[in-house]
Amino acid sequence: MIRVISGGILAGGIGLTAYGINASHAFGSEVTRFFTGNPSDHSMLMIIAGVVLIGAGLAGLFAGGKKG
């Protein structure tokens, strides 16, 4: 059961990271980048959250099935 949940978290993290990267190239983010030099906070938050979810999903997949 833990592997199924971890796989879902991993898939969600991959999707959120991809969506955040796509959002960083959107028109609104380009305008923000033009004036501030940085992409929008919303796209950066999605990328960071996606990477965290990917890490949590991988940790659950590799550590969740071990029994000691």
- What does the domain layout of the chain look like in residue ranges? 11-63
Residue 66: pLDDT band with limits 50, 70, 90: low
Residue 67: pLDDT band with limits 50, 70, 90: low
- Annotate 4-54 with DSSP letters as a single string: HHHHHHHHHHHHHHHHHHHHHTSHHHHHHHHHHSS--HHHHHHHHHHHHHH
Instruction: Characterize 37-60 residue by residue with b for buried, 16 or more Cβ atoms within 10 angstroms of its Cβ, and e for exposed.
Output: eebbeebeebbeebeebbeebeeb
pTM for the whole structure = 0.81
pLDDT at 13 over 60: yes
The pLDDT score that the predictor gives to residue 65 is 61
In the chain, how long is the greatest CA-to-CA distance?
55
